């Protein structure tokens, strides 16, 4: 007879094991006054709006307190609302963590970083760029972060932003206010929560919210997002670089453009391996969208910022807000869709917004999960499993 202990062990080992280890859970735990930064890497700087023992009251002042070198640095941010703009220009690895008792649940985040700005495209001057209305920028300089008249011809290798930036459990919002009121009626113009250019950056259970053009991964930018939520309206995920999303919720506050507008390589940029990739993600109406606004069947999965656009959705839940035809042209007068040049792809989509018979197969294609793994796993997209991510969270 088999002992009950053996049966118990057999049952235990057949249960699915949650492999998610929250790397900095101990460090991120709420701190009492008179704290010790227990569980935090040595030398961690502490930012708090309420604790007099913290060395810094704003996130940007702590960043300015770091040496401008290649050393690895850590910043822990106490609970609170931080009304500021944050730029990370240093090259060395930097990890910023928000205090939380639930690191694997972004809805429990206690650190909110926000500012309010947008580019009015009607009155925009030639010196203004989308890069001037951003809350969190990871880029070596303003020049390097420009979307428009940026340093296109500059030798790419001469610009180095962060080699390894990591953000945990922080909500980043651009509130795009007009006369002090959040402009919820539609788009004000480009208004970003996040910019990444000439840098490698990863984000764990963070949220990025705004309206138009919320999240940008630009020239020589590589970014990986795990968990969390991206919220916006028109083209709210856009860029030229490489952005990979795992287990991320895409939330729409309104219609306009596509969920994604991506641009592929330019001549000077080498082979086009750039794009926006989603695995195990979710497309929904934002919880804070106008409740009576009917978004059913309105949201295009993506549109081509240029004809070398690449956008891939894998194993993604699509609520009924998704446009039945899936992807769209840029516009009817300027379609920008070229066979075998533009890559709009789905694999394993499911949910009421996945309408297989209505999809526009002349501009997108479906691939099997095997093909998706062979072509669009993290290692395939980045050429190798990136050294600059937290492998407790990122899967291949
Ligand atoms: C961190 O600091 C403690 C106390 O000063 C020291 O014992 C430990 O070796 C340090 N750890 C590392 C990884 O530097
Ligand atoms: C960081 O390291 C790189 C490569 O070793 C070097 O070229 C660069 O000058 C260093 N940056 C700083 C700010 O020290
Ligand atoms: C930050 O927001 C304030 C309004 O709260 C605005 O005046 C300022 O221009 C914004 N800064 C940036 C760099 O976007
Ligand atoms: C950094 O922040 C300031 C506003 O505080 C902004 O003017 C500047 O362009 C930002 N970007 C970079 C990459 O330094
Ligand atoms: C930014 O680019 C402009 C135009 O190319 C150039 O004149 C300026 O010197 C650059 N600034 C920096 C800090 O590199
Ligand atoms: C920019 O991209 C080019 C082409 O992929 C690459 O060779 C170069 O190392 C990248 N530069 C930086 C700063 O990441
Ligand atoms: C980003 O990481 C890649 C390796 O994955 C490296 O070649 C590149 O130089 C890094 N970029 C920066 C700005 O450090
Ligand atoms: C943008 O600028 C135009 C022209 O100056 C103005 O009429 C409009 O109200 C501005 N939009 C917003 C959202 O401020
Ligand atoms: C919400 O949407 C309804 C229907 O589209 C519209 O009539 C109403 O003005 C909107 N409310 C706000 C606050 O934008
Ligand atoms: C696209 O590529 C496939 C496979 O390489 C090829 O069979 C097809 O003819 C190409 N289509 C066009 C329009 O070039
Ligand atoms: C997507 O995620 C699942 C894990 O849930 C994994 O098995 C699969 O290989 C991933 N797909 C790709 C293309 O990485
Ligand atoms: C992502 O989702 C997959 C499938 O639902 C799950 O197995 C995995 O643990 C999740 N990863 C994270 C980091 O949440």
Domains and CATH numbers, the chain: 4-382 (2.160.20.10)
Residues 349, 316 contacting (CB under 8 angstroms)? yes
- Confidence grade of residue 126 (pLDDT, cut at 50, 70, 90): confident
* β partners of residue 231: 209, 251
Predicted local distance difference test score (pLDDT) of residue 266? 58
> Whole-angstrom Cα distance, residue 140 to residue 382?
21
pLDDT in tens, 307-340: 999 999 999 999 999 999 999 999 999 999 998 8
Query: Residue 11: pLDDT above 60?
Result: no
112-126, 172-186, 308-322: which has the minimum mean pLDDT? Answer: 172-186
> Whole-angstrom Cα distance, residue 131 to residue 214?
11
Which residues fall within 8 angstroms of residue 209, CB to CB, at 6 or more apart?
171, 172, 173, 174, 193, 229, 230, 231, 232, 251
- Residue 212 CA to ligand 6 center (angstroms) comes to 28
- Confidence grade of residue 93 (pLDDT, cut at 50, 70, 90): very high
Query: Residue 91: pLDDT above 60?
Result: yes
* pTM listed for this prediction: 0.92
Which range of 32-41, 180-189, 327-336 scores highest in mean pLDDT? It is 327-336
Query: Residue 378: pLDDT above 80?
Result: yes
Instruction: Pick the more confident residue, 191 or 154.
Output: 191
pLDDT in tens, 256-274: 999 999 998 755 455 557 8
Give the mutation target among 337, 338, 340 for probing the ligand 10 site: most ligand atoms within 8 A of CB. 340
The closest residue, in CA terms, to atom 6 on ligand 4 is 132
Q: Do β-strands 73-77 and 45-47 pair in parallel, antiparallel, or remain unpaired?
A: parallel
What tokens were used for 198? 């000439």
Find out whether the beta carbon of 385 lies less than 6 Å from any atom of ligand 7: no
- Confidence grade of residue 149 (pLDDT, cut at 50, 70, 90): low
Find out whether the beta carbon of 68 lies less than 6 Å from any atom of ligand 2: yes
Query: Residue 154: pLDDT above 70?
Result: no
Q: Relative to the alpha carbon of 153, which ligand is closest?
A: 5
Q: Do β-strands 111-115 and 181-182 pair in parallel, antiparallel, or remain unpaired?
A: unpaired
Q: What rounded mean pLDDT belongs to the chain?
A: 90
Predicted local distance difference test score (pLDDT) of residue 6? 45
Give the mutation target among 123, 124, 212 for probing the ligand 8 site: most ligand atoms within 8 A of CB. 123
* β partners of residue 114: 83, 173
């Amino acid at each position: 007879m088999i002992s009950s202990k053996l049966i118990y062990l057999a049952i235990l080992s057949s249960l699915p094991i949650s492999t998610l280890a929250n790397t900095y859970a101990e460090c991120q735990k709420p701190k009492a006054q008179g704290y010790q930064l227990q569980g935090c890497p040595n030398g961690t700087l502490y930012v708090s709006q309420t604790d007099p023992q913290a060395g810094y009251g704003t996130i940007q002042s702590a960043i300015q307190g770091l040496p401008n070198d290649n050393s690895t640095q850590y910043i822990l941010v106490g609970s609170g609302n931080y009304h500021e703009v944050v730029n990370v220009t240093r090259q060395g690895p930097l990890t910023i963590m928000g205090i939380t008792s639930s690191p694997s649940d972004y809805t429990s985040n206690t650190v909110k970083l926000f500012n309010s700005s947008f580019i009015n495209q009607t009155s925009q001057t030639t010196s203004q760029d989308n890069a001037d209305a951003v809350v969190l920028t990871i880029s070596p300089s303003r020049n390097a972060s420009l979307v428009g008249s940026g340093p296109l011809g500059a030798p790419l290798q001469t610009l180095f932003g962060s080699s390894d930036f990591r953000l945990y459990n922080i909500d980043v919002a651009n509130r795009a206010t007009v006369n002090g009121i959040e402009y919820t009626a539609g788009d004000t113009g480009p208004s970003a929560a996040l910019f990444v250019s000439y840098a490698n950056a990863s984000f764990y259970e963070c949220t990025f919210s705004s309206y138009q053009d919320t999240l940008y991964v630009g020239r020589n930018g590589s970014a990986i997002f795990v968990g969390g939520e991206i919220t916006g309206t028109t083209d709210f995920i856009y860029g030229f670089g490489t952005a990979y999303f795992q287990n991320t919720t895409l939330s729409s506050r309104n219609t306009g453009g596509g969920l994604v507008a991506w641009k592929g390589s330019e001549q000077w940029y080498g082979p086009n391996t750039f794009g926006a990739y989603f695995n195990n993600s979710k497309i929904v109406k934002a919880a804070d969208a106008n409740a009576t606004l009917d978004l059913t069947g309105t949201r295009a999965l993506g549109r081509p910022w240029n004809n070398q656009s690449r956008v891939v959705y894998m194993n993604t839940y699509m609520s009924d807000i998704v446009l039945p035809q899936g992807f769209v042209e840029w516009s009817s007068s300027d379609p920008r869709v070229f066979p075998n040049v533009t890559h709009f792809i789905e694999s394993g989509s499911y949910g009421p917004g996945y309408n297989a018979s209505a999809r526009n197969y002349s501009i997108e294609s479906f691939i099997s999960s095997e093909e998706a793994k062979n072509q669009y796993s993290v290692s395939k997209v980045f050429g190798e499993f990136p050294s600059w991510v937290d492998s407790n969270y990122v899967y291949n």
